[in-house]
Amino acid sequence: MKKLFILVAVVVTLSCNHKAVSVSEFLSSGEWVDLTWDYEQSTVYWPTNVTFKHDTVFYGINDKGYFYSSFKYSAEEHGGTHFDAPLHFAQGGRSVEQINVEEFTGEAIVVDVADRCADNRDYLITEDDFLSWEKDNGTIPKGSIVLLNTGFGKYWGDPLQYTGTVNSGALGVEELQFPGLSPEGAQWLVKTREIKAVGIDTPSIDFGQSKDFLTHRFLCGNDITAYENIANLHLLPAKGAYVVAAPMKIKGGSGSPLRIIAWIPEKLKK
Ligand SMILES: [Zn+2]
């Protein structure tokens, strides 16, 4: 009875004091930020992948006298800003179309390790980085989308700086050098904070020199999705942004191109 009274009091208070705000009014009070890189010929792919192709099917005035254009593209799943489904490193794991859309959205926390990565391209993000984020921001909420800002986003457009190599094939793989999430850090996030997904502004959630991809294997094995080659993380606040990460719905896909955007409330705009 007491609970019912409190509920009625809250509803009456809300309806008396607050003018109804529509969803679009609410959203337009904040700002949408694009966390996605363009897909084009120079988009970063793994050294053993075929790069993105975009060819003209038709461009110009057609035989009926009006303008028309159409192109065709081809892409490997894991290049540019993209999504990793659990199937990527877990046999029997979910493929892209099997993931509930609710899992593509959530509150983001942004862990800034750019200082530590600036003088160490092999930097591995650990539990200590998350604990130091928590000192300033409180406990990482359950269901968070954890975005890792290594600062490497600023090197996009300069493949040597961004990935550590301009070579393709096995030699390119050998030379890859960029920071990543340590397997222990991934385990801590999943086991103690029950996060929803992880994203990073480098080509891989495992660091470039990884040979066994333990972070991928742990995340995929625990049914957690990941985003790679994310853009513009420096524009997001440490917490309070809301992310929508919508991958192309490839049936049976282990990953796919990703359009990822974030909404920042007015008061948190940088
Ligand atoms: Zn991937």
Alpha carbons 244 and 254: distance in angstroms, whole number: 19
Centre of ligand 1 to C-alpha 202, Å, is 10
Residue 20 has pLDDT above 90, yes or no: no
Helices 183-193 and 127-137: crossing angle in degrees, nearest 10, is 50
Least confident of 11-20, 44-53, 238-247: 11-20
Centre of ligand 1 to C-alpha 228, Å, is 6
| Bridge-based pairing state of the strands 197-200 and 225-228 | parallel
On whether the CB atoms of residues 114 and 149 are closer than 8 A, the answer is yes
pLDDT in the model for residue 11: 44
Centre of ligand 1 to C-alpha 41, Å, is 18
Centre of ligand 1 to C-alpha 245, Å, is 14
Average confidence (pLDDT) over 177-188:
98
CATH number at residue 169: 3.50.30.50
Look at residue 261 and tell me if it is in a domain: yes
pLDDT in the model for residue 55: 98
Centre of ligand 1 to C-alpha 223, Å, is 14
Look at residue 166 and tell me if it is in a domain: yes
Look at residue 143 and tell me if it is in a domain: yes
Look at residue 11 and tell me if it is in a domain: no
Banded model confidence at residue 13, pLDDT cuts 50, 70, 90: very low
Residue 259 has pLDDT above 70, yes or no: yes
Average confidence (pLDDT) over 14-19:
56
Centre of ligand 1 to C-alpha 77, Å, is 7
pLDDT in the model for residue 17: 55
Q: What length is written for the chain? A: 270
Alpha carbons 175 and 152: distance in angstroms, whole number: 16
pTM: 0.91
Percent of the chain past pLDDT 70, that is, above it, reads 93
Residue 6 has pLDDT above 60, yes or no: no
In the chain, the number of structural domains is 1
- The residue segments making up the domain with residue 233 are 31-268
Centre of ligand 1 to C-alpha 89, Å, is 10
Centre of ligand 1 to C-alpha 115, Å, is 25
DSSP for 45-88, please give it: --TTSPPPEEEEEEEEE-TTSSEEEEEEEE--TTSSSEEE-GGG
Banded model confidence at residue 267, pLDDT cuts 50, 70, 90: confident
Centre of ligand 1 to C-alpha 127, Å, is 22
Banded model confidence at residue 269, pLDDT cuts 50, 70, 90: confident
Look at residue 53 and tell me if it is in a domain: yes
Residues 6+ positions from 186 with CB-CB distance below 8 Å? 198, 205, 215, 218, 219
Look at residue 159 and tell me if it is in a domain: yes
Average confidence (pLDDT) over 180-200:
98
Look at residue 1 and tell me if it is in a domain: no
Over residues 97-132, the pLDDT tens digits come to 999 999 999 999 999 999 999 999 999 999 999 999
Residues 6+ positions from 30 with CB-CB distance below 8 Å? 263, 264, 265, 266, 269
Look at residue 4 and tell me if it is in a domain: no
